[in-house]
Structure 1
Amino acid sequence: MSGFVDERVTGVRRPSGGGKLPVMNHNTPLSPRPLHHLATGTGTGRRVLTHAQLRAHGVSAAEAGEQCRPGGAWQQLLPGVVLLHPGPPTSEERLHAVLLYAARERTVSVPVQPGRDEPPASPYGEAMITGLAALTLHGFASTPPLPSLETLDVLVPRLRRLRSTGCARIVRTADLPVPEQVTGLPVAPVPRALADAVAVLKDAVAVRRLLTEAVRGGHCEPAAVVRELTAAKLLNRPHVVDAVDSLLAEGRALAEARLYRMVREYGLPDPCWNVDLRLPGGPHLGGLDAYWPEQSVAVELDTRAPRPGGRPEEDAEWTEHARKREHLERLGITVVHITPRKLRDAAEQQAAVVRTALMAAADRDPAAYVVVLPR
């Protein structure tokens, strides 16, 4: 028989010879794991962890607090977020820190629709970088470098109970955009990041510079920016309205240049550029960006930027635009509408649309005679 018998009550095996059991203190903590492995790499290559992540690595709250004391090896960068070295954080570490801070104690996640695969969980929940930091990550040249930003904006759902603190400025929204991944970080799309940046900028020159670069640099179209500025209720600020006017002018000039390039590169016949049409001895029919008189085909760049809840005259502008198009089509003129985004992303397809309209002219009834004037 074995020298040990099972003790079925306690589950402890005792010597069969009646020897004394070794004294065991169940309150004695396990030997702590060495902490240097966290400071040299957490498996993600980053040295920023939350208290919950530290516990998963076997580090208790008491141990973390001891390490974060003055003169310690670590420091608490934000509430619940620890930097695993004593020196100043890098820009990357600050970005990860504000995202981890915003992701703590997340609210209930959005349910996945039936039949759709659940997206992979982000370690940052629904939080994403926005504002000036996001624009810098998107490659803007007119935004400050990350080390010079005292605070980093992080976008979260509106119902999150968070407060801005330290280097984290919380921005709430009821309608979260789909983030873009930039250097492995969730970053708000350019139009949303622009709106959040403009919301805190008072310098009219800085606002105009940002909006101009957004369009000139090909980051987004003017209409998308105006939609976000409208949703953020920023178009009641005079310096923002002035910047938007410059933005729309910049967007139209860029779209016109793309239209010229499309006609040239895809071998379309030369049109009459920037013309006004009139009925002989009659009313003005409207301006067009390009017109082929022999085929009665026109191209109009749709650079309008909707402003929901805008001024009455803006609604009138939309109505006039639709009226002009209907009138021209009743006269037998084919009007091809092209948006700046389609010119940028699908110029060959748009050239094919125009070419098809020109070729179909022979099968249509002749259009009404109109007078073509330079605009």
Structure 2
Amino acid sequence: MTHNTPLSPRPLHHLAETHRRVLTRAQLRSHGVPPAELDAQCRPGGSWQQVLPGVILLHPGPPTSEERLHAALLYAAREPASTVPSQARAEGPHRPAFPEAMVTGLAALTLHGFASSPSLLTLDRIDVLVPRARRLRSTSGVRVVRTPAMPTPRQVTGLPVAPVPRALADAVRQLSDAETVRRLLTEAVRAGHCEPASVVRALNQAKLLSRPHVVDAVDALLAEGRAIAEDRLYEMVRGYGLPEPVWNVDLRLPGGPHLGGLDAYWPEQAVALELDTRAPRQDEDALWSEYARKREHLERLGITVVHTTPKKLRNAMEQQAAVVRTALMAAGGREPAAYVVVLPRS
């Protein structure tokens, strides 16, 4: 058989395992399928079908969810994914299969395992993230989302998928239902996909915090994140045998000004713990200045301040417990702290 001999669909079955029988026109040509044969196979009643511009499904039935994802990525990728094993070996193990394209939005959240996102079969479009400079149009079945800086994708079922914060921002941009937005944001934190701060940062970068229903959902998100972080803080103190502090208190100088609220305080050792659950919004610098002023004031009074974050409590709880234990043990070698009044946080 010469290079120009037309091929039927049969010899291409060996590609199904890696590409779910979805290929581009260029890939089919590289396998020896001439344009006339390809067009004949894609006519009504033929064995193949064009599901997106330049993307061919090698069977006549409706595409599966996996095939829709592969088709969307093949359409959006800068160059066709390799289909020939020898080519893949020549390209190297670290070359992306779908250059400059990744799944984002609701489809990405579904792939990340969100229970509150719809099934892939019910989505009218697959959102695909590409660099801003790409000249690529949205089409039936695929919405092109542009970004000035591509995030590092996560590999989910072998496909490049946008990280949860970015996928959330792209999904929320298309949603007007407040309850749906709230469920998605809350699940992101409750299920441990990411921290509230990373979600708010992504929403802020996408300029979505001016939408009232998004702001309301963010407030619910921050409350959820705060409650989870406080539970981890209780777990750290009790799980690592630290002395029991007084929880959620305000400090005041006797007859003097309010010094600030604390999440935990050990009066005998004059050690304070503050849980930083600030969200990165437009007023972040002002909030940080307030935190810094409070810390400096307490330390001038001889009170040691331990600063931690929800992320540190989640990923390095033992290390954070060691930091607190060290501060408590060092109390005996310090000058006595100023007397302060400890009150329940209002």
Query: Is contact 1:78–1:166 with CA below 8 Å preserved after alignment?
Result: yes
**3-state SS of paired residue (2:155):** strand
- Residue deviations 1:141-195 (CA, integer Å, cap 9, x gap): 0000110011000000000001011211000000110000000000000000000
Aligned equivalents of 1:297, 1:241: Cα separation in 2: 35
State whether structure 2 residue 6 is matched by structure 1 residue 32.
yes
Q: Which residue of structure 2 aligns with residue 231 of structure 1? A: 205
* TM-score (norm: length of structure 1): 0.86
Residue 292 of structure 2 aligns to which amino acid in structure 1?
A: A
Residue 356 of structure 1 aligns to which amino acid in structure 2?
A: T
Q: Which residue of structure 1 aligns with residue 333 of structure 2? A: 363
- Residue deviations 1:287-343 (CA, integer Å, cap 9, x gap): 000000011101100000111xx25xx654332221111100111111111100010
Aligned equivalents of 1:255, 1:210: Cα separation in 2: 19
- Displacement of 1:40: 5.8
Aligned equivalents of 1:43, 1:228: Cα separation in 2: 36
- Displacement of 1:239: 0.5
Aligned equivalents of 1:248, 1:105: Cα separation in 2: 41
Aligned equivalents of 1:184, 1:292: Cα separation in 2: 49
Aligned equivalents of 2:193, 2:208: Cα separation in 1: 20
- Displacement of 1:41: 3.5
- Residue deviations 1:24-76 (CA, integer Å, cap 9, x gap): xxxx9832234312246446252000111111111122211111011100000
State whether structure 2 residue 304 is matched by structure 1 residue 334.
yes
Aligned equivalents of 1:373, 1:291: Cα separation in 2: 11
**3-state SS of paired residue (2:18):** coil
Residue 217 of structure 2 aligns to which amino acid in structure 1?
A: A
Q: Which residue of structure 1 aligns with residue 317 of structure 2? A: 347
Aligned equivalents of 2:287, 2:101: Cα separation in 1: 39
Aligned equivalents of 2:12, 2:233: Cα separation in 1: 56
Aligned equivalents of 1:373, 1:334: Cα separation in 2: 18
Aligned equivalents of 1:365, 1:53: Cα separation in 2: 75
* TM-score (norm: length of structure 2): 0.93
Q: Which residue of structure 2 aligns with residue 72 of structure 1? A: 46
State whether structure 2 residue 220 is matched by structure 1 residue 246.
yes
Given the superposition, is the C-alpha separation of residues 119 and 42 from structure 1 closer, same or farther in structure 2, using an over 3 Å criterion?
A: closer
Q: Which residue among 85, 95, 100 is the counterpart of 1:121?
A: 95
Aligned equivalents of 1:342, 1:359: Cα separation in 2: 21
Query: Is contact 2:269–2:328 with CA below 8 Å preserved after alignment?
Result: yes
Aligned equivalents of 1:135, 1:156: Cα separation in 2: 17
Q: Which residue of structure 2 aligns with residue 59 of structure 1? A: 33
Q: Which residue among 174, 184, 190 is the counterpart of 2:158?
A: 184
Aligned equivalents of 1:29, 1:363: Cα separation in 2: 84
**3-state SS of paired residue (2:259):** strand
Aligned equivalents of 2:216, 2:136: Cα separation in 1: 34
Q: Which residue of structure 1 aligns with residue 149 of structure 2? A: 175
Aligned equivalents of 1:265, 1:367: Cα separation in 2: 28
Aligned equivalents of 1:125, 1:62: Cα separation in 2: 28
Paired-residue identity, %: 75
Gaps of 5+ in 2: 81-91
Q: Which residue of structure 2 aligns with residue 81 of structure 1? A: 55
Gaps of 5+ in 1: 1-27, 107-117
Query: Is contact 2:273–2:306 with CA below 8 Å preserved after alignment?
Result: yes
Aligned equivalents of 1:148, 1:237: Cα separation in 2: 26
Larger Rg: 1
Q: Which residue of structure 2 aligns with residue 17 of structure 1? A: none
- Residue deviations 1:120-152 (CA, integer Å, cap 9, x gap): 211210200000000000000000011001100
Q: Which residue of structure 2 aligns with residue 324 of structure 1? A: 294
Q: Which residue among 100, 106, 117 is the counterpart of 2:74?
A: 100
Aligned equivalents of 1:227, 1:47: Cα separation in 2: 39
Aligned equivalents of 1:163, 1:205: Cα separation in 2: 30
Query: Is contact 1:39–1:85 with CA below 8 Å preserved after alignment?
Result: no
Residue 234 of structure 2 aligns to which amino acid in structure 1?
A: Y
Q: Relative to structure 2, which stretch is displaced further, 267-276 or 97-106? A: 97-106
Aligned equivalents of 1:119, 1:286: Cα separation in 2: 54
Alignment map for 1:262-341 (pairs within 5 Å): 262-307=236-281, 310=282, 315-341=285-311
